[in-house]
Structure 1
């Protein structure tokens, strides 16, 4: 995939069926190039340590599902048939790990995980150059391919009919809105161009979502000096 970031973002799309499920849904896409991938380092460690402290202060004895934005996502998952006790949103899963320490994966993943936890918003990152065609959010037919790993071996799964999934022309890139990313487009230590998806529901406002985007760009600049970014907000009536 060799398109420039602006052109690639212009073709991203959220299907009307998703907005019918949650009219308040918004996705802020942050596309970045000239990233500097690599293993976790001092910079990503500081970002994660700050996020862990923010999570401890925000939770302070409160269960993650009692936070307003996490509760909204639990309701959204139930609306398409998922059970949030079994398949938690990405941000809830991270918040549940914050007290004992967030995972250290690699410097790019660490950066976006830190922003996700600090701002209580689901956030994922994927390698743009591994995409085939545009990114779009749809309700699945159940026939789409989802490349994953099972017992250490490559495997192909299929989403449930009606499940909310991100996909491209080759198949599903993320199941259950923001639950699990596929193997094909995940970030690696050779990724230099990526798209980051910030998912939002009420009570987060547009300004709140844009603030998360700003925090993400700041984190990317800290880990990748010289990074170049473009953003696009997808929302009902503005897609």
Structure 2
């Protein structure tokens, strides 16, 4: 199988020293056991308060500080993990979206870690974490209709050769590469800062990979740790 090798812009080491992530590549197969993700999401929501890791709050606080360093306002546009956890604390649960999405949302909630899921066949070139120049194309929706916008200059984004795929690091995903259960090649990125122990990052990746394998027994899955050098 082909492994997705994302590229990290060295400039970002100044904004988030110690950043590391797990890149998980998947050649998907038929989803035979969708209940795996339903159960995972339900358990993650139910145990959010009782089983929150001791380092979770400091990890989310570190993400908020990182967002401030590149000009974002985390109270208005928080990292994806904090946004999910706030919704669960407010509503008591999270609505089901799609078996694959539900599973990686469950991992994000449980481990207080931003998790991105992408349809890799929609990518043009390799994923890159970099600083926006403000001219990149970002596909999104407004008022239920397809729309285009651009990130702010200096904003941290994920992008490919076509344009931005996720704004404000991991705040909002674009529509072009959005993942669902129909994707043939899937790519997941689990992003952590030093406040999250490396053992916890690996545990989150193992749990995601295990859940995917249970849902899709014939899938091929590989993971790799990436970090600044």
Query: What is the TM-score of this pair, normalised by structure 1?
Result: 0.89
Query: Which of 48, 61, 69 in structure 2 is aligned with 1:79?
Result: 69
CA RMSD of aligned residues (A): 2.0
Aligned in 2, Cα 1:216/1:181: closer, same or farther, shift over 3 Å?
same
Alignment of 1:106-125 (within 5 A): 106-125=98-117
SS of aligned partner of 1:56: coil
Displacement of 1:41: 4.2
Q: Contact 1:165–1:177 (CA<8 Å) still a contact in 2?
A: yes
State the SS of the aligned residue for 2:110: helix
- The corresponding residue for 1:190 is 182
**Residues 181-225 of structure 1 deviation map (CA, whole Å, 9 limit, x = unaligned):** 110000134212110010100211332211211111011112211
| Shift of residue 54, structure 1, vs aligned partner | 2.4
The 5 A counterparts of 1:98-177 are 98-99=88-89, 100-177=92-169
Q: 1:25 aligns with which of 19, 28, 46?
A: 19
Q: 1:45 aligns with which of 38, 42, 50?
A: 38
1:5 and 2:2 aligned: yes
How far has the Cα of 1:103 moved from its partner? 2.3
Q: Matched residue of 2:48: which SS?
A: helix
Aligned 8 A contact 1:5 1:230 in 2: no
The answer to whether the 8 A contact 1:56-1:98 is kept is: no
Does residue 229 of structure 1 match 2:221? yes
Whether contact under 8 Å (1:48, 1:114) holds in the other structure is yes
Is the Cα–Cα contact under 8 Å of residues 37 and 108 in structure 1 kept in the other structure?
no
Task: List runs of 5+ in structure 1 lacking aligned partners.
Answer: 60-65
Q: What is the alpha-carbon distance in structure 2 between the residues aligned to residue 175 and residue 207 of structure 1?
A: 28
How many pairs does the alignment contain?
A: 226
Map of 1:62 onto structure 2: none
Counterpart in the other structure of 2:194: 202
1:138-188: per-residue Cα shift (whole Å, max 9, x none)? 011011010000111111111111111000000001111110111000013
From 60, 64, 68, the equivalent of 1:70 is: 60
**Aligned-partner Cα distance in 2 for 1:141–1:35:** 38
Q: 1:16 aligns with which of 10, 15, 22?
A: 10
Q: Write the distance in 2 (CA, Å) between the matches of 1:76 and 1:35.
A: 37
